[in-house]
Structure 1
């Protein structure tokens, strides 16, 4: 089994698509649909909706980085667990966890086609940060 789908997902989240939304077209299928269960409710996003949201993220944060803790693949389905860390414009020297996510992506024709996303507000507690480490 090839792991190109897994690499595609990792590269997408490590990219700076929020600062340059033209990068999105390299990764996201034009017919993409994202089903997002967030702490604010349910959202269904298409390609355009996602690009608009990414552009707003780029404006809202001085810096945004993605910490991937899990990346699993089965056939053309890739699951990723990650945390977005941000630096706000008001406090560019302080980085904090924005939100924690798990997304299951269907990859079709070498693009992210359908995503099922769950998120919750970020927290920098040691238990949460260390939750992906092996138990001793």
Structure 2
């Protein structure tokens, strides 16, 4: 049985938050802070910043699919590793690995409160794809 905190994190990343601003406030604490190291540099985001980012995503992506490989918990901290696959507005039939993420989230008041995010551009290399295949 999965904990409530792990389910919260999973549900957020599997949601269509980028299409509906109200979904963001359902999952993110009003005082959320995200520290994001991406291939484009460092970002520090609050809820308002993230809503703006999601609004821009809505213009570019027809669909985002979250493929989770790891979901771990240590007290009120949840770590998730996943890949977003995207269908762009320009090529809605083409599903591509958009980016790979590892996030550590602190949960407060049953919402995502403080997040440390690392991401890099997606790729479909064998080593990356094989990391999704359960080991025997």
Q: TM-score, normalised by structure 2?
A: 0.95
Deviations 1:84-124 (A, max 9, x none): 11111111111101100000000001000000000000001
- Alignment RMSD: 1.2
Unmatched tracts of structure 2, length 5 or more: none
Moved beyond 3 Å, runs of 4+: 132-136
Does 2:129 match 1:129? Answer: yes
C-alpha distance in 2 between matches for 1:44 and 1:9: 19
Give the Å deviation of 1:134.
4.1
Give the Å deviation of 1:135.
4.1
Deviations 1:51-106 (A, max 9, x none): 11011111111111111111001110000001111111111111101100000000
Q: Provide the aligned length of Structure 1 versus Structure 2.
A: 135
SS of residue in 2 equivalent to 1:18? coil
Q: TM-score, normalised by structure 1?
A: 0.95
**Which runs of structure 2 are paired with 1:94-113 in the superposition (5 Å)?**
94-113=94-113
Tell me which residue corresponds to 2:40: 40
Give the Å deviation of 1:132.
4.0
Tell me which residue corresponds to 1:13: 13
Task: Pick which of 44-53 and 54-63 moved more.
Answer: 54-63
Tell me which residue corresponds to 1:50: 50
Unmatched tracts of structure 1, length 5 or more: none
